[in-house]
Amino acid sequence: MDFTPSEEQAAAQGLAARIFGDLSTHERLVAAGTGTDAELWKELCAAGLPGAVEDIGLLGLVLLLEEQGRSTAQVPLAATCVYGLLAVDGHGTAEQRERLLPALRDGTAVATGAFPARGGVGAVDGALYGGVPWVPWLRDATHVLVADAERELWIVEVGAPGVTVVAVETTAPWSAGRLGLDGVRGERLGTGPGAGAAVLAASRTAFAGLQAGVCAGSLARAVQHTATREQFGRPLSTNQGVLLRAADAHMDTEAIRVTAYEAAWRRDRQLGYEAQALTAAWWASEAGRRVVHAGQHLHGGTGADLDHPVHRHFLWGRQLDAYLGCGAELLEELGLLIGSDRMEGTP
């Protein structure tokens, strides 16, 4: 395996780093509250970064999301790319791709995904009933990709008759909402549960990449703080306990990153990667929680300040932990997958 970015992937990552670094400042994040930074989203789309994902693949998207996570930029990049662009490009018909992809590329359409862990949505003769307690970026979305109880995929327009969206405040400011469906006519995407499993694996990989960036940003802030803050006449970073805590956080962050890279790399090469996506999700959930706690703890009393930038990394890390799923449940699913015939013949 070689995770070295291609020239196109490296260029996209560099552009994303510049845009996020210039526009996703602490002041702008405070002003955005729980909403999307519309100017930043417009800038990303004008630069062609969402649309570039079709060419740079899932690994390229993971690299972009790492840069977003470093600054906790409030834009629906992950949701639009995995539940919109990659899902439609990979599983849509020619007519669906021609109709839906242009608006998703230029940002005039925003997609998200409703993948309830335990049912919640049923399909009867093409009509959808049920609900999902919370869906990320739903309040900003024009389209939501819904997985029913059989893991069949349906594209639903948020403004369609029978769709209700109620604002939900989550740990991180993701413009989330509760989705209700009452006889909504959905549009099928793909055939059979295989499409649903593929989109779920891609989303787990992408959000793990986002968590890698969140953790890297948290750790970078902790390193800067402990290197400049003095106690008893010397920097905090010279204390062995601080060094060990930071080293553990670094290793956890690298584990999240490399497992996300592996899953994305395998997907882009059309290799089986469902198990690798679950592994990346587990690391992002379990290790991610440890890292953002360490980042806040290493700031001492400053880390308890709700207005401090490091606290935003803490909130994002805990939200991603919740979104990716409980570590024990992910391990159970991974064990069942390994023991099933779905793993037979997997490269």
d(CA 112, CA 294): 31
Alpha helix positions (H), 165-273: 193-228, 240-268
Rounded-to-integer distance, Cα 177 and Cα 155, Å: 17
Beta strands in the chain (DSSP E): 111-114, 121-124, 127-135, 143-147, 153-157, 163-167, 177-185, 187-189, 230-231, 234-235
Identity of the residue numbered 133: P
User: Encoding tokens for residue 170?
Assistant: 């989550």
pLDDT recorded at residue 300: 84
- pLDDT value, residue 342: 62
Positive or negative, the CA dihedral 163, 53, 258, 209 is: negative
In this prediction, residue 343 carries a pLDDT of 59
Residue among 171, 191, 117, 109 at smallest CA distance from 144: 109
Q: Model pTM greater than 0.75?
A: yes
Question: Could you list the pLDDT tens digit for every one of the 347 residues in the chain?
Answer: 778 899 999 999 999 999 999 999 888 888 877 788 999 999 999 999 999 999 999 999 999 999 999 999 999 999 999 999 999 999 999 999 999 999 999 999 999 999 987 778 999 988 999 999 999 999 999 999 999 998 899 999 999 999 999 999 999 999 999 999 999 999 999 887 789 999 999 999 999 999 999 999 999 999 888 878 767 778 777 787 888 999 999 999 999 999 999 999 999 999 999 999 999 999 999 999 999 999 998 988 787 788 888 999 999 999 999 999 988 899 999 999 998 866 554 54
| pLDDT for the residue 341 | 64
Classify 346 as helix, strand or coil: coil
Q: Are 20 and 63 in contact (CB under 8 A)?
A: no
At 69 the pLDDT is: 97
Q: What is the pLDDT of residues 189-241, one digit of tens each?
A: 988 778 999 999 999 999 999 999 999 999 999 988 887 876 777 877 778 78
